[in-house]
Amino acid sequence: MILRIGNASGFYGDRFDAVREMLTGGGPEGGLDVLTGDYLAELTMLILGRDLLKDPSAGYARTFLRQMEEGLGLAHDRGVRIVANAGGLNPAGLADALRTLADRLGVPARIAHVEGDRLPAGPGVLAANAYLGGAGIAACLSAGADVVVTGRVTDAALVTGPAQWFFGWGPEAYDELAGAVVAGHVLECGTQATGGNYAFFTDHDPAVLRRPGFPLAELHADGSAVITKHPGTGGVVDVGTVTAQLLYETAGARYPGPDVTARLDSVRLTQEGPDRVRIDGVRGEAPPPTLKAGLCRLGGFRNEVVFVLTGLDIEAKAELVRGQIGDALAASPPADVRWELVRTDREDAPTEETASALLRLVVRDQDPEKVGRALTGAAIELALAGDPGFHVTAPPGKGAPYGVFETAYVPAGDVPHTAVLPDGARVPVPVPPGNRELVAVPEPEPPEPLPPGPVRRAPLGRVAGARSGDKGGDANVGVWVRGDRAWRWLAHALTVERFRELLPETRDLAVTRHVLPGLRALNFTVTGLLGEGVASQARFDPQAKALGEWLRSRHVDIPEELL
C-alpha cells in the first residue's frame, strides 16, 4: 500500500490556487489520497489572536474556507481526504463554517476537528497553544471524516495523523512514525521542497522555477517515502531541495515531536529518478514527556522611520540626524531605541537612488505616545532643519502594537487532546505510552580532512548551500555540500568560531553546531538573534530568512579542487 499525500499551503497567504492544482493535477492514475495544508506560523497565531479579540467567531484561517468553495466538491469527486491546521484558535468555529458551506454547495462532506491545544492564558497573553501530534487526526479519519481541521498541531502531524489512520500504526511504531515525520517536514513548507528559496537555483532553467509545483509524498507502510510532485508542474525535486528543507528550522540529530523523536542523523536520501527523491532508513525513538507550547502576547508598541541620506558625508549626516532625534526625545525617551545605517550608496553614482544610504530608526515602548506623536513630531520637524537633502522613505506613522512569541513546555498528560468526530462525539486522545527525555546526541567523529593543497578566496556559497529560518527568538542556519570531498572540507572549516567571524552579528550570542554526516550538513542554532521573535520585528530580517544567504556570500579560503 502507498499513501499519496500532498500539500497545498506552507503558510497563511500561500498560493490560493494550490488546492485546486493539487486536487486536479495528478490525473486519473496519479491522484492523492490526502491533501494537507499548513496555515499556522508563530506570527499567524498572533494575528489570529487579535482577530479573535475583535470577533469571537473568528480565529481561523479564512483563506482556507474560501478555498473550500471549490475544494470541497473537487475532493469529494476524487475521494481525497483533506487535513489542515487552518482552525487556528477556533477549529470548532471553522468546522461549523465548513458544514454550512457543504450544505450550501450540496456536498456530503463529513467534517471533524481536533481541539485541546489551547492552554489557559495569563494576563496579556493573546494565545497559548500546545503542539499536538497526529493521533487526533487519525481518530477523525478512522471515524469517516472527509475533512479534518485542527488548531495548533506540529506541522508534521498533518502527515503522521493520516499515516497512522491509513497504515494502522500503533503509538510505538517509532521508526515508521519517524519516517512520516521526516516526510511531513519536507512537505510542510510547500514549494520550498520543489525549488523555492533554493540556494543553488542558478543550476536550473529560470523558467522551471518561475512557478514551482507543490510537493507530495508517496508514503509506504515501513515509513519510507518518495518526495515528488505532480507531472507537468514547475520546480524541481532533487536531493538538494529535500536536504535544504530537512535542515529548515531544525537543529540537532534528535528532532522531537509529540508522536515520536525522529533521528535526523539516520536519514538517507537517494535520487530515484527525475523529480523523485527516496527517503529511507529513518529511525525513531519515544517522544519526550512534554509538549512544546507557544505563547503569543502583546509586547508593547513600536514605530520606525527610515531617513534617506544622499551623496557626500554619509556618516556625518547620520550622526547629525541621530543627535537631533535624540535631543527631541531626551525628555521622555522610548524604552528601546535602535539605529542602523545601511550603506547602499555608491561613489560617483549614476542615479540618485544609488547615491543614497538608509538610516533606520526603530523605537519600542509600553506607552504608545512615546513611539507615536513624540517620534513623528521629532522626525517631521527636521524637514527643513536636518541634513542637506533630508527626506524619509515614508511619512512617519503613529506606531503600532507588536507581539512577542515565547516557548514553554507542558506535561503531555496535562493537555486534553480531543478528536471531535463527524457525528459530534468527543473522543479523548491518549498520551503515547512511552516517553524518553530529550538529550543531545554527541557530535560524531569528523571525516578525514582533505590533504593540504592550493586554496582560493571565494564565497562560501560557491560550494555550500544554506537555508535559514526562525524559532521564536532563535535562528537556525543549515549548511550542506553536495559531495564527500566537499564534506571533508566543510566539517573542519566551518567551526562555531569561524561561523561567528563570518556573521559578526552572532559574536556575542550562543551558537551551537550540530553535525549531520548523512546529509553532509551542519546545522547552527543562534540563540537570541531575533530578540522576542518575528512579531517584535527586532531585526532587519526578522525571520532570519536570508541569514544563510549572507553566510554564503562571505569569502573564505576554499580548496581549488572544490571550485
Q: Are strands 455-459 and 555-559 parallel, antiparallel or unpaired?
A: antiparallel
**The dihedral sign for the CA sequence 236, 239, 240, 241:** positive
Listed in order, the ranges of the chain carrying CATH 3.30.70 are 300-404
- pLDDT surpasses 70 at 237: yes
Dihedral angle of Cα 337, 342, 348, 352, to the nearest 10 degrees:
-70
Q: What angle do CA 530, 494, 253 make, to 5 degrees?
A: 70
Give the three-state DSSP class for 370: helix
Residue 313 is predicted with a pLDDT of 97
Q: pLDDT band for position 505 (50/70/90)?
A: very high
User: 17-31, 52-66, 113-127, 209-223: which range is least confident on average?
Assistant: 17-31
> Which residues, at least 6 apart from 141, have a Cβ–Cβ distance to it below 8 Å?
81, 83, 148, 161, 162, 165, 166
Best CA proximity match to 403, nearest among 46, 15, 153: 46
Average pLDDT (319-331) is 95
- pLDDT of residue 28 exceeding 70, the answer is no
pLDDT over 80 (residue 534): no
For residue 503, the model assigns a pLDDT of: 97
Residue 71 reports pLDDT greater than 60: yes
Half-sphere exposure of 465 (CA within 13 A, CB side): 26
Strand 555-559 with 474-481, pairing = unpaired
| pLDDT for 105 beyond 90 | yes
Band of residue 298 on the pLDDT scale cut at 50, 70, 90: confident
User: What's the topology of domain 300-404?
Assistant: Alpha-Beta Plaits (3.30.70)
What's the Cα-to-Cα distance from 466 to each of 91, 483, 550, rounded to whole Å? 36, 15, 9
| Of the candidates 8, 167, 193, 186, the residue with the CA atom closest to the CA atom of residue 84 | 8
Total-model pTM: 0.94
Which pLDDT score is estimated for 390? 95
CA dist 87 and 58 (Å) reads: 10
User: Could you tell me the pLDDT band of residue 30, with boundaries at 50, 70 and 90?
Assistant: low
| Helices of type H across 150-230 | 157-167, 174-187, 206-209
Cell numbers representing residue 429 in the block: 486522545
Mean pLDDT of the region 119-132: 90
Residue 29 pLDDT grade (very low, low, confident, very high; cuts 50, 70, 90): low
Lowest-confidence range among 247-256, 284-293, 351-360, 536-545?
536-545
On the 0-12 / 13-18 / 19+ scale of CB atoms within 10 A, 513 is middle
Q: pLDDT (tens digit, 9 = 90+) per residue, 380-398?
A: 999 999 999 999 999 888 8
* Mean pLDDT, range 40-54, rounded to an integer: 88
Query: Which DSSP helix (H) or strand (E) runs through 323?
Result: helix 314-329
pLDDT recorded at residue 26: 77
The beta strand positions in 231-323, using DSSP E, are 254-255, 261-263, 268-273, 276-280, 283-285, 290-310
